[in-house]
Amino acid sequence: MNTTAATNADAAADARHLQTAAADHSGHPADNDSTIRTASHLAHSASGLLEHPRGARPGLPGDRSEFSFEQHSRLESCAQGKGHDGARYGRTGIIHTPHGDIRTPAFVPVATQSAMKGVLPETMKDLGAQCLLSNAFHLFERPGEEVLDEAGGLARFMNWDGPTFTDSGGFQVLSLGAGFKKTLAMDVTDMKNDDVIAEGKERLAFVDEDGVTFKSPLNGSRHRFSAEISMGIQHKLGADIMFAFDELTTLMNTRGYQEHSVERTFRWARRCVEEHRRLTHERVGKPYQALYGVVQGANYEDLRRRAAREIASLDFDGVGIGGAIEKRLIGDTCAWICDEMPENRPRHVLGIAEVDDIFACVENGGDTFDCVSPARCGRNGAIFTRHGRYNIKRAANKHDFNPLEEGCECYTCTHYTRAYVDHLLRAHEMNGATLATIHNEHFFVKLLDDIRASIDAGYFEELRDETLAHYYENGLMK
């Protein structure tokens, strides 16, 4: 059956279901003309998944079978493989969600507050983005999860016709508690402190066994997050994929604290699964929302493996690879976790957007990746290209009428020049941030598209080696 026929068949089945429901409610068959109109409407809206997500049935819980992972190609084991017996867990596949499919590996741009800063959802779709991730904590702060629930969920609220993710709010345990933004590449030699605070920061979040109490960075008001509260917020936000509430530690926390944190995150994970199950059955008529457990454990192999086994023992739909990770261990960490996880669950690596890190994570099992870096760097003038990252606001670009990157097919590069984008950013014109963000997001979306094609066609190693050689030939920043 072709796609159009399948879509119309699904719509007709939905119409029959509504006709039966109407007959059951009134005691009489539904009006034929009304049924025909309903079938016509569903056939139309089924082509626009925003209006009719798969697996949503009136009066029934979301159909879990509408979320699944389908694995295609897999990298072969080799002597350099970091997994058991030289296993390399890199693969291609499809994540099927109620709002559409995600072909993996894939980059997930971050629309923090249900918006890409300065870029419309339609433009994100045009540049190749398959899905977007929003921040549950920030949407809780404003406009509030009730608003998104009333609007019909995150995708409809921001007019995004595709799958969506939300995080759990667990990152705020770190960013508000310890004040650090990014810990991946930190050198923590001889630095161990369970009460560490970033320089010039105030501790705004406090962790206890039940959850986290924090002060709002917006207005100083006090709030409380727990496993149950996070699940309640994320269910109302309505993303296709959401994450269990976890504690994100810093690399400077002691081994003892990391052990307690892993145990606490597992206890929170069990509560998330229970609350997710309850809300799924209670909130009828909604599409099923997949829940990923998050594996913590910092740099410790035994803790990462233990955490992975514990998360694997629970009824999660996928896994998030999170936490503070030293750059040198990022591939190893993914492999440790994949050794302990079932292969039918998709794996999301949280907060990664360096080219070498992405290759390392893909090779060792990462399926999807999110990070704010492409947009944030773009707004500040840092442009990602195949030959490295450079600062568009260098004096040399003032008279450069070439595209941001030669050969790039993004909207910015096919319409505008370096000189123009440099001018806009220097003049603080909003268009400058928009054009730089479009290019940077396209760069990472295309990079993952190319990696996916290379795994399917059997030339991953060649693409990796060639890409990294060109990208780092002039250092980290020009």
Residue 82, domain member (yes or no): no
pLDDT score, position 375: 98
Same structural domain for residues 343 and 390? no
Residues 6 or more apart whose CB falls under 8 angstroms from that of 20 comprise none
Out of 331, 364, 397, pick the residue that ends a domain.
364
Residue 167: active-site member: yes
Same structural domain for residues 251 and 308? yes
User: How many domains is the chain partitioned into structurally?
Assistant: 3
Residue ranges at the known binding site for Zn(2+): 408, 410, 413, 439
Same structural domain for residues 281 and 409? no
Same structural domain for residues 433 and 462? yes
Residue 394, domain member (yes or no): yes
Burial class (CB in 10 A: 0-12, 13-18, 19+), 63: middle
Query: Is the peptide bond prior to 58 cis by the omega test (within 30 degrees of 0)?
Result: no
Out of 316, 339, 364, pick the residue that ends a domain.
364
Of 167, 332, 339, 422, the active-site residue reads 167
Please write the tens of the pLDDT for every residue from 256-284. 989 999 999 999 999 999 999 999 999 99
Out of 314, 329, 364, pick the residue that ends a domain.
364
Is there a contact between 211 and 225 (Cβ–Cβ < 8 Å)? yes
Residue 460, domain member (yes or no): yes
pLDDT score, position 195: 64
Residue 227, domain member (yes or no): yes
Same structural domain for residues 344 and 392? no
State how far the alpha carbon of 209 is from the alpha carbons of 189, 213, 258, 268, in Å: 29, 11, 14, 9
Record the tokens describing residue 405, joined without a space.
Answer: 């990157």
Burial class (CB in 10 A: 0-12, 13-18, 19+), 428: exposed
Of 240, 317, 370, 422, the active-site residue reads 370
Same structural domain for residues 244 and 345? yes
Residue 68, domain member (yes or no): no
pLDDT score, position 214: 82
pLDDT score, position 42: 37
Sign of the torsion angle spanned by Cα atoms 142, 143, 146, 148: negative
Separation between Cα atoms, residue 351 and residue 253, nearest integer Å: 20
Task: Let me know how long the chain is.
Answer: 478
Longest Cα separation, the chain? 77
Residue 400: active-site member: no
Same structural domain for residues 360 and 388? no
Same structural domain for residues 435 and 297? no
CATH number at residue 136: 3.20.20.105
Residue ranges at the known binding site for substrate: 167-171, 246, 296, 323
Separation between Cα atoms, residue 330 and residue 353, nearest integer Å: 12
Same structural domain for residues 186 and 229? yes
Same structural domain for residues 200 and 289? yes
Same structural domain for residues 410 and 334? no
Residue 74, domain member (yes or no): no
Q: What is the span of the domain harbouring residue 389?
A: 379-449+451-471
Record the tokens describing residue 464, joined without a space.
Answer: 């990796």
Residue 334, domain member (yes or no): yes
pLDDT score, position 477: 67
Residue whose tokens read 């399948």: 6
Q: pTM here?
A: 0.86
Residue 114, domain member (yes or no): no
Same structural domain for residues 298 and 210? yes
The tens place of each residue's pLDDT in the chain, 478 residues long, gives: 444 444 444 444 443 333 333 333 333 334 443 333 333 333 334 345 577 899 999 999 999 999 999 999 999 999 999 999 999 999 999 999 999 999 999 999 999 999 999 999 999 999 999 999 999 999 999 999 999 999 999 999 999 999 999 998 876 555 555 544 433 333 344 545 566 555 666 777 788 899 988 888 888 888 889 999 999 999 999 999 999 999 888 888 889 989 999 999 999 999 999 999 999 999 999 999 999 999 999 999 999 999 999 999 999 999 999 888 899 999 999 999 999 999 999 999 999 999 999 999 999 999 999 999 999 999 999 999 999 999 999 999 999 999 999 999 999 999 999 999 999 999 999 999 999 999 999 999 999 999 999 999 999 999 999 999 999 998 766 6
Separation between Cα atoms, residue 234 and residue 226, nearest integer Å: 12
State how far the alpha carbon of 34 is from the alpha carbons of 21, 30, 39, 149, in Å: 13, 7, 9, 28
